[in-house]
């Protein structure tokens, strides 16, 4: 199994994106979106901007 994005409707009726590891563990979740297309846009934004993201350590 590979890493994957899941779009799921939560209890409030909002769409959330989960990024899931090969072992099935959710690595992170997004905020809730009112439409599925907004959740899909979030995935595309993560794919586009994620590789160049800066790692910041906050203490």
Average pLDDT, the chain: 96
Tell me the pLDDT tens digit for each residue of 29-47. Answer: 999 999 999 999 999 999 9
CA proximity to 18, closest of 9, 31, 5, 1: 5
- The residue with tokens 């297309």 is 37
Q: Domain locations in the chain?
A: 1-27
CA angle 52–20–50, rounded 5-degree value: 10
Dihedral of alpha carbons 38, 43, 44, 50, sign: positive
How many Å apart are CA 27 and CA 40, to the nearest integer?
18
The single residue listed with the structure tokens 């995935």 is 43
For residue 1, the model assigns a pLDDT of 79
């Amino acid at each position: 199994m590979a890493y994957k994005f899941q779009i799921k409707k939560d209890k409030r009726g909002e769409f959330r994106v989960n990024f899931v590891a090969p072992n099935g563990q959710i690595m992170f979740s997004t905020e809730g979106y009112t439409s599925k297309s907004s959740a899909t846009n979030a995935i595309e934004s993560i794919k586009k901007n994620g590789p160049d993201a800066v790692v910041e350590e906050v203490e």
